[in-house]
């Protein structure tokens, strides 16, 4: 038979244990989760518009010198309303793009044209038909971005024939802009 103090202790432990079970409860709530993805794009040069040597005395006295460069555009998937514009360069005269000579300070005229279609990697055709500009109809309109993977677009360059320029190295810088 149990002694009274031991019985009191056993009853107290049982009540304490029972009260823990009774006091244990739970509650829950919903935690809203959200995010937004903005339409965003980046543009970079894939390959420079680097012409071979222009020969004003022989071949380029009557034939233009052509070359192809390229730019790369990456946009968030589904981005729409995309256009690429190209300004007239650092040494423009009116609307004529020009490269500046390094030592003779002469100018060598050139033109930049869009590829014949707006499909990525479309080869250039010469002579080009649509001069690439920073505004208006001379901007290349792109299709919506099917994925975030970069797409490459060719830049078609021409140095017109028959220019009387000094032997030198000629350069210019054109800014390409993606509008989205």
**Does some domain include residue 75?**
yes
pLDDT, average across residues 94-99: 96
4-18 burial, b if ≥16 CB within 10 A, otherwise e? eeeeeeeeeeeeeee
**Does some domain include residue 103?**
yes
Q: What is the pLDDT of residue 12?
A: 47
As for how many domains the chain has, the answer is 1
**Does some domain include residue 92?**
yes
Q: Which domain holds residue 126?
A: 45-163
**Does some domain include residue 32?**
no
pTM: 0.82
Q: Which two tokens stand for residue 75?
A: 């946009």
For residue 157, the surrounding DSSP H or E stretch is strand 151-159
Q: Closest Cα partner for 178 from 156, 146, 145?
A: 145
**Does some domain include residue 127?**
yes
Q: Which residue has the tokens 């040494």?
A: 91
**Does some domain include residue 109?**
yes
**Average predicted confidence (pLDDT) for the chain:** 91
What is the Cα–Cα distance from 136 to 120, expressed in whole angstroms? 21
**Does some domain include residue 16?**
no
- For the chain, report the end-to-end CA distance as a whole number of angstroms: 89
Q: What is the pLDDT of residue 103?
A: 86
Q: Report the share of the chain in percent with pLDDT over 90.
A: 85
């Amino acid at each position: 038979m149990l002694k009274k103090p031991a019985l009191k202790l056993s009853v107290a432990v049982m009540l304490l244990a029972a009260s823990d079970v009774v006091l244990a409860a739970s509650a829950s709530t919903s935690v809203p989760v959200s995010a937004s993805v903005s339409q965003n794009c980046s543009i970079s040069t894939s390959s420079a518009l680097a012409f071979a040597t222009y020969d004003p005395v022989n071949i380029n006295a009557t034939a233009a010198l052509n070359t192809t460069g390229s730019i790369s555009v990456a946009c968030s998937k589904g981005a729409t309303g995309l256009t690429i514009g190209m300004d007239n360069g650092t040494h423009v005269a009116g609307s004529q793009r020009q490269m500046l000579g390094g030592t003779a300070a002469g100018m060598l005229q050139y033109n930049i044209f869009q590829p014949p279609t707006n499909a990525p990697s479309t080869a250039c055709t010469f002579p080009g038909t649509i001069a690439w500009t920073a505004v208006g109809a001379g901007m290349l309109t792109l299709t919506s971005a099917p994925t975030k993977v970069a797409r490459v677009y060719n830049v078609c360059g021409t140095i017109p024939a028959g220019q009387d320029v000094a032997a030198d190295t000629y350069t210019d810088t054109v800014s390409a802009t993606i509008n989205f």
